[in-house]
């Protein structure tokens, strides 16, 4: 099966270990959420996968071929990063033209259509774009590039709510029409939780969770209500964490729900963002 396989990747910056013996697989035609706090190692991992920086040890395989300095493997990957690596004086329309040269499946017409939707002036030079439009420009390229593996590092940085909504709709539309592997690295977990199929949580350079979103959220539940009631209910249970507000308390529990729930307690599904906070807080 085609996939990107990351094997025993470790990367240190001086005394700081940014990525610590990471093993992970990104299968084709799936949308992944790569979640982690600031400095968790998400961008470092993406930069290693795309040959922008080198790992101290380990290897990245793209459809079975080693990705390091391998043009053929690298042509299957596109990374939209926070930093812009296109020449500052180049016009957006020229970036489209050159991307088509390097990625023959790049759809210039579709990119132009998306630029109209986002009201991006393609005659503008990259350096004159605002933070939001710079993200939009890179998103358009990423959505039009048509490679098997697309990595989006903080894709909605600086985007207003309308454009964020438009992006998620376009991503789903694109994925349903022409499925490929999208890996979204973001802090805005609540927004992506409805889009992603699999979740990869990275903490201090290590993968702490790697499973389907549905399976992860079905492993537990949230119980809310009067603090005293909640406290007595959660005693002896596997607790991820708790939130308190006044006399009310919410507890995030790993385990299956019992059928006879005490009166006055409200049971709901685990929330991905809450789960993420609890998993990465300690």
Partner 1 sequence: MNIKNSYRYQIMDHKKSIMIYYIIIYCVTILMLLGFSLFTMKIGTSSGVTESQFTGVGSATALFLFISGLNSFKENFGMMLQNGVSRKSLFLGRAYVIATLSFVMAVLDNILLLITKSIAGFLNRDVDCLSQFESVFLEKSQGMNSVLLGMESFLYDLFIYVFAFTLGYLVTLMFYRLNKQGKILVGAGVPIFFIVIFPILDYILFKSRITLFIYKAYGFLMGTRTQQPFIAFITFCVFSAVFMGISWLLMRKAVVKQ
Q: What is each CA distance from 203 to 132, 275, 279, in whole angstroms? A: 28, 13, 9
d(CA 219, CA 212): 11
Q: Which of 1, 14, 15, 85 binds partner 1 (CB under 8 A)?
A: 85
Nearer Cβ to partner 1 (83/169): 83
User: Which part of the chain contacts partner 1 (CB under 8 A), choosing from 2-10, 77-85, 218-226, 236-244?
Assistant: 77-85
d(CA 104, CA 108): 10
User: Which part of the chain contacts partner 1 (CB under 8 A), choosing from 24-32, 43-51, 158-166, 234-242?
Assistant: 43-51
Q: Which of 43, 163, 185, 224 binds partner 1 (CB under 8 A)?
A: 43
Q: What is each CA distance from 260 to 16, 81, 239, in whole angstroms? A: 49, 49, 19
Contact assessment for residue 163 and residue 171, using Cβ atoms and an 8 Å cutoff: no
Nearer Cβ to partner 1 (129/275): 129
d(CA 101, CA 96): 9
Q: Which of 16, 83, 169, 269 binds partner 1 (CB under 8 A)?
A: 83
Q: Which of 10, 12, 21, 51 binds partner 1 (CB under 8 A)?
A: 51
Contact assessment for residue 249 and residue 234, using Cβ atoms and an 8 Å cutoff: no
User: Which part of the chain contacts partner 1 (CB under 8 A), choosing from 44-52, 186-194, 250-258, 272-280?
Assistant: 44-52
Q: Which of 8, 23, 29, 54 binds partner 1 (CB under 8 A)?
A: 54
């Amino acid at each position: 099966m085609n996939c990107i396989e990351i094997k025993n990747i470790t990367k240190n910056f001086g005394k700081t270990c940014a990525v610590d013996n990471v093993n992970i697989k990104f299968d084709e035609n799936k949308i992944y959420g790569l979640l982690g706090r600031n400095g968790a190692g998400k961008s470092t991992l993406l930069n290693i996968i795309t040959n922008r920086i080198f790992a101290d040890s380990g290897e990245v395989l793209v459809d079975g071929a080693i990705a390091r300095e391998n043009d053929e493997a690298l042509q299957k990957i596109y990374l939209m990063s926070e930093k812009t690596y296109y020449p500052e004086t180049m016009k957006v329309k020229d970036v489209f033209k050159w991307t088509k040269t390097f990625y023959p499946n790049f759809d210039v017409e579709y990119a132009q259509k998306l630029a109209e939707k986002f009201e991006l002036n393609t005659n503008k030079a990259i350096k004159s774009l605002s933070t939001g439009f710079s993200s939009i420009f890179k998103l358009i390229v990423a959505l039009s590039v048509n490679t098997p593996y697309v990595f989006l590092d903080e894709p909605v940085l600086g985007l207003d709510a309308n454009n964020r909504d438009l992006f998620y709709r376009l991503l789903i539309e694109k994925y349903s029409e022409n499925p490929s592997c999208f890996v979204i690295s973001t802090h805005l977990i609540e927004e992506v939780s409805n889009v992603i199929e699999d979740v990869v949580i990275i903490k201090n350079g290590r993968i702490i969770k790697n499973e389907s979103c549905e399976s992860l959220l079905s492993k537990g539940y949230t119980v809310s209500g009067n603090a005293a009631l909640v406290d007595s209910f959660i005693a002896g249970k596997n607790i991820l964490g708790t939130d308190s507000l006044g006399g009310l308390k919410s507890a995030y529990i790993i385990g299956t729900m019992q059928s006879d729930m005490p009166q006055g307690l409200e049971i709901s599904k685990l929330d991905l963002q809450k789960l993420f906070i609890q998993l990465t807080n300690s």
